[in-house]
Amino acid sequence: DIQMTQSPSSLSASVGDRVTITCRASQSISSYLNWYQQKPGKAPKLLIYAASSLQSGVPSRFSGSGSGSDFTLTISSLQPEDFATYYCQQSYSTLGTFGPGTKVDIK
Amino acid sequence: QVQLQESGPGLVKPSQTLSLTCTVSGGSISSGSYYWSWIRQPAGKGLEWIGRIYTSGSTNYNPSLKSRVTISVDTSKNQFSLKLSSVTAADTAVYYCARDVELLMTTVTFDYYYYYMDVWGKGTTVTVSS
C-alpha cells in the first residue's frame, strides 16, 4: 500500500501569511495527487486535483505543485476562511490513501 | 448541480451490519465518467477510503475492509449503498459518500486517467454500541 505523510501536522499563521504544506508518498505516484480542505463538522472540499489543477470555483490563492513523491499545497495569502484542516490523497492506486492532515489555525 | 445525501441508522449494535444509502440528486447516477465512493472519518481522526462502485457494477474496496464491505448501486433510484458487516466500536465514524471523477488527460504518448472526489455528501454519524 502507498503511505502518505504530511508536514507539518499543524501550524499557526496569520491572515495574509503565505502557507506551505508538504505531502510525501511512500513511492512515486507521478502527479496522481489531490488536496482537500475540511472545516469542523463539514465534509471535505476538493481544492486541487492532478497535483496542480485548480478545481473550479476555488480561489486562485490556492496552488499545488510537485510530482513523483513530493508535493506542496501553497496558500499565497491566508484568508480567515482558510483556517481548516488540509488533506492530501493519492489516486495512483485504487486504494485512495489520504494523508493524516495538516491543521491550519490562527496565530 | 449534483448533490449527495447519506441516510441510514445512526446506531448499530456490535456484530450487526451497518447499512447506508447515498441518494444522488440534480443529475443521473448513470451519466458521465464517475465512480461513486464511500469514505469514513472517526471522530477527531483522518479520512479512510472505504470503496467505490461504477454504474456498471464494477467495485473497488479497501483491502483492510474488503471481507466485510459491499457497495451496490440502484440506477433506477439514483442511489448507491454501503453495507459493512460484523461491525465493532472501531467502525464508529462519520460516513461520507462522494462522486469520484474519472478524468482522461491525453498527451502525444500516453493517456492518463485521474481520479478525484469533487462532490461530497454532508456525512452521517454512525455509532456502534449495544
pLDDT single digits (tens) A41-60: 999 999 999 999 999 999 99
Question: At A80, is the secondary structure helix, strand, or coil?
Answer: helix
* Of the candidate ranges A76-80, B43-47, B69-73, B108-112, the one whose mean pLDDT is the lowest: B108-112
Beta bridge partners of B22: B6, B80
Cross-chain Cβ contact A91/B62 below 8 Å: no
Res B55 pLDDT > 90: no
Best residue of B114, B118, B119, B124 to probe chain A, by most A CBs closer than 10 Å = B114
Neighbours of A92 (CB within 10 A): 18
As a whole number of angstroms, the distance between CA A87 and CA B39 comes to 13
Q: Quick one: closest CA in B to A96, which residue?
A: B49
Rounded to 5°, angle at Cα B50 from A28 and B57: 100
User: Grid coordinates in use for A1?
Assistant: 500500500
Res A32 pLDDT > 90: yes
A89 contacts in chain B (CB < 8 Å)? 47, 49, 116-117
Res B110 pLDDT > 90: no
Contact A5, A24 (CB under 8 A): yes
pLDDT band at A102 (very low <50, low <70, confident <90, very high): very high
Res B111 pLDDT > 90: no
Q: If you average pLDDT over residues B57-85, what whole number do you get? A: 96
Q: Quick one: closest CA in B to A43, which residue?
A: B122
- B123 interface with A at CB cutoff 8 Å: yes
Contact B78, B24 (CB under 8 A): yes
